[in-house]
Structure 1
């Protein structure tokens, strides 16, 4: 029964990814820990695999549109992958307990929820015109002289967060690519998927050897999430992601509060 519930929730994660283009993967860790009983450190490593593969899966339609900025992947992605590897290695020290990791995850989830709740809708255009909505009204234009330096600095920070708690970090990567990388929103989203996949791979390498991974569960969970993303992508043709984003943000807020309470009580 636990296996079935967990995989139904995995399909839900995929649907949210397909509908919103991101954010849903942050639900993977609490599902593995609280619904399927996986130890937190193992669940974080497994989450890295799920997030990385599903990000590559979601990248396919973007790659055909040639919206990936390879220069930004090289600059920002190199910093995030180094950070992710270091974060995973840091998690191997005894001082970094599973409780601390789950606490950091809950905080990251609260931040992600905040981004989704407060960000303004992009426009009221038809759903078919989403790819052409480059309005960046939610973000100011970059004004810094050394944006590349800030980009590298944030890259290392986001990467370490990925390595420590397994989140993709898209909620921080996309605004950084728009603000500091001067990318359009579609290009930032496409490029972020590549970076998230690289982060997840680097984080996984950092965890190998000091955590146990249930490869069968990881594979089946990933397949369920991939199936859900196909369903979500289809449903996105009929549903406005902007309308769903704020409500999903409140849902993330509720889940983050649940995780935080569980961590503090334990």
Structure 2
């Protein structure tokens, strides 16, 4: 219960302050902290992060920060990609998903270490097909390993469309909700194949506490250095990725001795 409570707070704070990182924390908490199967953890993370993001997104919607044309251009291809990623996941071993997940965590850590300007005045909006392609690729990742993709969506929106960070984060949260919803629905078929059921009590607790953490994170976001927060988060991701690889690789390569 302690792992569940503090894990949910960390997920909420991450989404509230950084606009990303929710599922990257949720999946390992459920899989290794609570002992869920890989596919069970991924499916649960999708609905947990989707609900938390939907509530967190209301602030950006109220403040009219969401760029709705980009939600459509990025989000709908992302939903198609999410469905495809979840479909692919149904044919693969959970250990493969977690190994890929660890690689994604390392990529997220690298992304967190990179400086992102609040606004890129030199960046011109790119073609619609490029934005849609980026959305689809992020969606495939969401469906395959259960990450919302905020750490990819936010810089993509800034670099491809020239948005400010504030607008990119608000827009990203809406896209995360869309991707998470379609991914969770498709994962019902994936879970049915393995006759796996979700633990709705864990989902309810983690979602409720996560929402509280997210709202708190939004209030605190202006009081902390985003630069230092991202660096600290990146270090945590690297450590967790190392642990996940340590746990997953022996299942993929039984001859390895770790």
State TM-score, norm by structure 2: 0.89
Paired with 1:75 and 1:172, the residues of 2 have a C-alpha distance of: 15
CA contact (8 A) 1:17 1:25 kept: no
Counterparts of 1:157-172 in structure 2, within 5 Å, are 157-172=137-152
Report the Cα offset of residue 45 of structure 1: 0.5
Mapped pair 1:181 → 2:177: no
Residue 120 of structure 2 contacts residue 159 of structure 2 at CA under 8 Å; is this kept in 1? no
- What are the residue-to-residue correspondences of 1:1-266 with 2, within 5 Å? 3-93=1-91, 96-119=92-115, 122=117, 134-136=118-120, 141-142=123-124, 147-211=127-191, 212-266=197-251
Structure 1 residues 25 and 91, CA gap change in structure 2 (3 angstroms): closer
CA contact (8 A) 2:19 2:173 kept: no
Count of aligned pairs between the two proteins: 246
Q: Is the 8 A contact 1:136 1:185 kept in 2?
A: no
Quote the Cα distance in structure 2 between the aligned partners of 1:70 and 1:30.
32
Report the secondary structure of 2:148's partner residue: coil
Distance across 2 between alignment mates of 1:150 and 1:202: 22
User: In 2, distance between residues paired with 1:177 and 1:119?
Assistant: 15
CA RMSD of aligned residues (A): 1.8
Which blocks of at least 5 consecutive residues in structure 1 are unaligned?
A: 123-133
Is this contact kept in 2: 1:148–1:181, CA < 8 A? no
Measured in 2, the distance between the counterparts of 1:231 and 1:39 equals: 30
SS of equivalent to 2:203: helix
- Structure 2's unaligned 5+ residue stretches are 192-196, 252-258
Secondary structure of 1:155's partner? helix
